[in-house]
A and B are shown apart, each in its own frame.
Chain A
C-alpha cells in the first residue's frame, strides 16, 4: 500500500510539483539566509581564528567583543605571566589608526601590534614576505583582502576617462601611519572580517609609536597554557588572580558573536527572512499538501471501506509527506549550496555548517508533519457515509 501511496503522490503532477516548489523554496530561503547569518556572525570573530597560537585571551573585564577598545595596564602582562600554568603570555595591540597613502589619499586601518620578540599573534598565512620581516625598520604587513579597494597605490597614469589608475599595494610600498613612515614588507591572507578597515600588522613596540601617546595601550594579552594544562581551568585561575577577563579562544569567539547578536538588528533581520521562508513553506507547500490529501479523501474513504485501518492510511499520508519533504528539502539545500558556491566567498558571507541542513530539515519536517497531521485528522474523521457519495 505504501507503493500505492507514492504513486498517488507522484501521479498528481501539478500538486506534487507545487508541493515540491513550496518546500524547495522554503528550504532555500531558510538555508540560504541562515548560512549568510552564520557567515556574517562568523566574520565578527575572524580575528580570533586568525590568531590560532593563543589558548587564552586575557582582556579588560568589561570588554564586549574582540573589536572593543578597553586597554589594559602594562603591569597586567607581568601579572598574567605570574600565574602558574602559563607557558607564555605576550601583549597584543589592536586599534584603528589613520593611514595616509603615497598619493595623499587617507583611510583608516586596524593596526595589530604583535610581540616584538616572538612575533606571536602574527598572520598565519603569508602571500608575500615573511612574518619575521617585521623586524626590519618601519616594517608592516598588510592584509591582501583590502589591497585592491583601500590600500591601493596610484600608478601615476590616468585612464581614458581621466581618472587615476591604481594598482594593489605590494612589498616595498610606503605609507604613513599617524604621520610616521611605514614600509610594506609582506602581504598576508586573513579570513574575511566583519570589519571594513584593512588590517595592518606590525610589532608591538612600533604600534605604540604609531599610536598617539596614551597611558594604557595594551589591548589584550595572548596566553599559551603549559602542556597538559587545561586552558579553561587556567583561564579561571588567571581571572581569580588578576581580576581580568580570561577566555579560551572558543568562548571568546562566542562572546564576540553574542555581542553582535545582542547589540545589532542582524539576528532580527535574518530571523524575519528565515521566518518568511518557513511561512512560505507553510502557506504554499502545507496548503498544497493539505489540498492534495483532500483531493484523495474519496480514495482513502474507499480504502477505509475496503478494510484499510486508520493506521494504514495515516502511514500512507505520512509517507507522502516525508517523501515530498525529503525531495523538497534536497532541492532547497542543493539550490542554497549552489548559491553559496557560485558566489565569491570574499564578498558573500556564506557558511553552511552541519546545523543548518539539520535545522532546515526540522523546519520542513514541521511543515509536512503539520500539514500531514491536519490532513490525517480529515482522514481519521472521514464520514463513512461519504464513501457512498460521489
Chain B
C-alpha cells in the first residue's frame, strides 16, 4: 500500500513571519494520496490548504514534518532540479485559468512542454492531441478570450496534462464556472485520476463537486480534522 502512495505527508508544519507577526499556516498536517485517487481538500479560508499543496508541489519549503511526493522529498532537491522535477511530474490547474491571453489555445497547452525544452513542432503536436482529448479539437487557434470559461478551464487542464504528470493539483477549478460547466470540467478531472491512474488533489469550496472525490479531507487551523468518503450513489 505504501508504495502505491503518490503523496505521503506527515506532521507538516509551516509558519509565516516572525515574532508578533508569526502566523502558523500548518500545525502538523497529514495527507496521503494513492495513485488513481482524487482527493479534495476543503475547509475555511486560511486553514492551510494552499500552503499544503504549495509544499507538496515543491513551491514552498516546510518548517517541519516529512513529505514524500511521487517518491521524492521535494525539499531535498536543489532549486534547479526541484523546478525540473515539478515541471515533469506535477500539473497545475488554477482558479483563474492563468492562460496567456495573447497566444492561442494550442500554444498555451504547449507551454509546459516548451519549458522542458521539447522541440516546438513536437510540443505543438502534443498540445493539439491534448486539446482533442479535452474536447476542444478544432479550437487550436482560438485565443483564450474567444472561448467560454468552461472551454478556458479545459485548455488549462489540457495544459496541465500535456507533460503527462503523475500528480495533478487543482486550485478551485470550478469556482469561476457555472454549475453545469463545473460538473463537466470535474468529469474530465476525475477521469485523469480514475482512468489514467494519476493522483489528483483538488482544493475546493464547491460542495456540488464533492461527488467526484474518492475522499474529502477537511482542514482547519492548519490541521486535517477529518476525512470523509462521499456517498457511493453520488460518485
Contact = CB atoms under 8 A, between A and B. Distances in A.
A4 to B, nearest CB: 6
Contacts of B119: none
A145 interface: no
Interface string B73-103: 0000000100110111010101110101111
A171 to B, nearest CB: 69
Given A1-B114, A11-B103, A384-B54, A302 B83 contact: no
A307 B94 contact: no
Interface string B163-176: 10000000110001
Interface residues of A, number: 27
Interface in B34-57: 50-51, 53-54, 57
B50 A309 contact: no
Given A1-B115, A4-B100, A298-B98, A305 B51 contact: no
Contact of A388 (B83, B95, B120): B95
A385 B169 CA distance: 13
B100 A387 contact: no
Contacts of B172: 390
B103 A307 contact: no
Interface in A291-325: 296, 298-299, 301-309, 312
Given A298-B96, A307-B87, A387-B94, A10 B102 contact: yes
A74 interface: no
Contacts of A298: 96, 98
A308 B83 contact: yes
B225 interface: no
B212 to A, nearest CB: 20
Nearest to B176: A390
A133 B120 CA distance: 77
A233 interface: no
B103 A305 contact: no
A348 B83 CA distance: 59
B219 interface: no
Interface of A is mostly: helix
B112 interface: yes
Nearest to A1: B114
Interface residues of B, number: 36
B229 interface: no
A384 B60 contact: yes
Interface string B98-125: 1011110001000110111000100000
B200 to A, nearest CB: 15
B103 to A, nearest CB: 5
A106 to B, nearest CB: 70
B59 interface: yes
A7 interface: yes
A12 interface: yes
B60 A303 contact: no
Interface string A360-390: 0000000000000000000000001101111
A275 interface: no
A7 B59 CA distance: 27
Contacts of B50: 385, 388-389
A301 B100 CA distance: 11
B215 to A, nearest CB: 21
A308 B100 CA distance: 15
Closest 10 A-B residue pairs measured CB to CB?
A: A307-B87, A11-B102, A384-B59, A302-B98, A390-B96, A306-B112, A388-B171, A308-B115, A390-B95, A388-B50
Given A11-B101, A306-B87, A307-B163, 8 more contacts: A1-B114, A4-B103, A12-B102, A302-B94, A304-B83, A385-B50, A390-B95, A390-B96
26 contacts: A4-B100, A4-B103, A4-B111, A4-B114, A8-B102, A8-B103, A296-B100, A298-B98, A303-B111, A305-B92, A306-B92, A306-B115, A306-B159, A307-B83, A307-B84, A307-B88, A307-B115, A384-B59, A385-B54, A387-B92, A387-B98, A388-B95, A388-B171, A388-B203, A390-B94, A390-B172
Interface of A: 1, 3-4, 7-8, 10-12, 296, 298-299, 301-309, 312, 384-385, 387-390
